Chain A
């Protein structure tokens, strides 16, 4: 299988602290790949590097063979690489629906001149975006709160909104950063089935950071274990769970 994301020998240090140390990972096209590791392993830093939110010190990141090293996040968005945030981000002064409607790229209204010169075109596109946003709020089960300000939604609903945002445009790869943290069990079930549906029906590739092992076990294959800034092991969830190195990294040397 070809890899859609190819991280090659990436290094990143904050001052004297080496957070990512010669890290190379591949994500297969069409897979739901898990990324786990103890706190401080560098998972979120690696995410931020891939998503263009953080410059790397050395190394290379490829998206479907194209070099995207240090490209800004908005450019990666238009190439189909989307991410969610560990701490849910939202435009707090807009409604849930408006939050979703902010997403779709390359519309006529974005250009200052088109907005005045081609009002008909802008209005048609705006209507199309609204239709899609309404479909998405249904899909993620937020229909009843669509006109609430996003800042007033619960933590779990904000996480769903994060997932919904990735559905507004045709993504190729979605990086999910602890999407399940702080979400209650019922909502979590919805979230997992939504991710599976997107993967199956719309061909999204997912790379998932998660601490919830149950969710990893249900969703992800393969799973990559990160420790001290580089890959420790990679394999199916069963292989990972029985790997003595992993057990040691998670529970300390005494546990094994």
Chain B
């Protein structure tokens, strides 16, 4: 029974955490692609930026969260969302809009976004330093909930932390909100229209510049949520994006680029694939040790890949999807 609890903690909970973060990130990548038709490489750095804003705000107003009974970084998150959304719109105005106005090919935009990646990383590093930092400051600590399993054989509890619970709640809220926005509001429908046919959208009186700005606001806001909750779950690092970029793009491609629901599915596929691949399966075999052949019973580590090679998992998924189903699980391109 303890083995099952171990499995729940290390696969179900951990996979849902990674999956949620990848899903929220991939939605942003996929929305930007469906509206502007380029792969926005700086997206993972917008996530870092969002987390960094939370760090700065938490340093500026330590202990504010105590008033409402939430961790201070979570209380600062809405402000960081606004700041990151502004950053996204500002980056677009400064770097991508002039390129669009010249009608450049998408690859030029992609290379431009690589430049923005390097610039953002440098900027964050300049102010934050290079070391990892905990977002819990001034005596606040991460709340850990231990759920006792109501079985006699289970002595260990299922553990889940406060930021993980907040992450799950915010993921559900974001996904439902996005769904309602795209299908119920005229602005959301205009966004779908523009991703389908931008010329016709303009000729139908849709202000496409406005839609582009809204897309950046949504992508930036979601990036701030994902970046902050990842930093809360582990720690804040200026090079967070290195470990996010590949899984997020893998998630977007797995789901079918340009397809937000696909991005959500893709995020969870990549997240669970990662945790399942690094999970030590020998733990689950332990109860059946007596009836197993010796070589299997003796094996101490039965993970598919070592934890340190976790990053190869999304890479493998990416290659596999591109070979066997290049359009993704859902047919992409249009919201």
Q: What residues of chain B lie closer than 8 Å to A165, measured between beta carbons?
A: 204
Contacting residues of chain A (103-118) with chain B, CB-CB under 8 angstroms: 103, 105, 107, 109-112, 115
Q: Which single member of B184, B193, B201, B205 contacts A105 (CB below 8 Å)?
A: B205
Using CB atoms, name the residue of chain A closest to B203: A73
Q: Does A249 contact B (CB under 8 A)?
A: no
Interface size class of A (residues with CB under 8 A): 20 to 34
Partner of B203, one of A51, A92, A122: A51
CB of A127 closer than 8 Å to a CB of B? no
- Determine the chain A residues whose CB is within 8 A of the CB of B197 once the complex forms: 89-92
Given the known interface contacts A102-B190, A112-B214, the answer about A94 and B208 at a Cβ–Cβ threshold of 8 Å is no
Q: Residue of B at shortest CB range from A111?
A: B187
Q: Determine if A93 is an interface residue (Cβ-Cβ < 8 Å).
A: yes
**Interface footprint category on B:** 20 to 34
B200 partner, pick from A72, A91, A105, beta carbons under 8 A: A91
Cβ-based interface call for A245 (8 A): no
Is there a chain A Cβ closer than 8 Å to B207's Cβ? Answer: yes
> Does A159 sit at the interface, judged by CB under 8 A?
no
Q: How many A-B residue pairs have CB under 8 A?
A: 78
* A169 interface hit (Cβ, 8 Å): yes
* Contact of A89 with B200 in the complex, beta carbons under 8 Å: yes
Whether A83 sits at the interface, judged by CB under 8 Å, is yes
Q: Does A53 contact B (CB under 8 A)?
A: yes
Q: Mark A48-72, 1 if CB is under 8 A from B, else 0.
A: 0001110000000000000000001
A77 touches B193 (CB 8 A): no
Q: Mark B138-169, 1 if CB is under 8 A from A, else 0.
A: 00000000000000000000000000000000
Once the chains bind, are A53 and B190 in contact (CB under 8 Å)?
no
Bound-state CA distance A20–B184 (Å) is: 44
Q: Scan residues 169-191 of chain A and give those whose CB is less than 8 A from a CB of chain B.
A: 169
Which A residues are closer than 8 A to B by beta carbons? 51-53, 72-74, 77-78, 82-83, 85, 89-94, 98, 102-103, 105, 107, 109-112, 115, 122, 126, 165, 169
